[in-house]
Amino acid sequence: MTTTVPCRVATRRRFLLCPPAYFAVEYAINPWMDPSRPVDADAALRQWRTLRDTLRELGHRVETLQPLPRLPDMVFAANGASVVDGRVLVARFRHPERAPEAAAHRSWFRQAGYRPTVAQLPNEGQGDFLPVGDLVLAGSGLRTSPAAHREAEAALGRRVVSLQLTDPRFYHLDTALAVLSEDQIMYYPPAFTPESDRTLRALFPRAILATDRDADVLGLNAISDGRHVLLTDAAEGLAEQLRADGFVPVGVHLPELLKGGGGPKCCVLELHPAPGGHR
């Protein structure tokens, strides 16, 4: 029996990124971070620029958030806000080390023409809120409060599906799950409770399932435009599965930023859609 490979279509996206001008690992707020390991700041900047340039080469619009001193994790821009249908919910970080980043995001969105709402409950932006189809998949259990899911549902105007994370290595939803298209995801089942795994299998019966090897290199921290999928070049198994499902994997090399517990998606906040179409 021959299986038909779906025809995948890319759509032009708009992204917000923040250069790693002050990137360092000065504290440990996730299992990937080890302040005793040296970080090559110049290499981190080169790797980030390659990610930015790759997005542009694929036809996407890249906006830039100004980095601030003493905020080494600002490069992980995805955590600063959730943007759905032009509605913006600014993060409220759980750890005090990152808390000042929220004000920088709020200021950027205001200047860009949005009317952001600031979260009142712990919520780490697109790290834990991923739009797919007419839903928002939301992670909890490690960073974002379960109660914050209801707050986000009201602020973003979409139904939120709650998913519970269980493994500290996968501390945000976007480290354990990637949205590939309006009806397709890839994820790592052991990162979720059995109930959340069942929810995902029911919603996405054709989901791509990551192996331990690919999950262990944050292979699921990926960016998709519906056809091209940017993911770490170390996730070779996922790349093969993506090709078999009609996607075009684009490997990127970010080993320095991985020392902070982030991959391609952590560095990219997708803006859904550009100002003018938001409510």
Residues designated as active site: 172, 266
d(CA 167, CA 142): 8
Please answer whether residues 54 and 264 qualify as being in contact, where contact means their C-beta atoms are separated by less than 8 angstroms.
no
d(CA 15, CA 268): 6
Give the DSSP H/E element, type plus range, for residue 243. Answer: helix 236-244
Residue whose token pair is 């029996």? 1
Q: Please return the burial class of 244, using the count of CB atoms within 10 Å of its CB with bins 0-12, 13-18 and 19+.
A: exposed
95 contacts: CB under 8 Å, gap ≥ 6: 29
Residue whose token pair is 């791509």? 208
d(CA 165, CA 246): 28
Neighbouring-strand partners of residue 132: 135
d(CA 130, CA 113): 22
d(CA 100, CA 148): 19
- Residue 224 half-sphere exposure, CB side, CA atoms within 13 Å? 27
d(CA 104, CA 174): 22
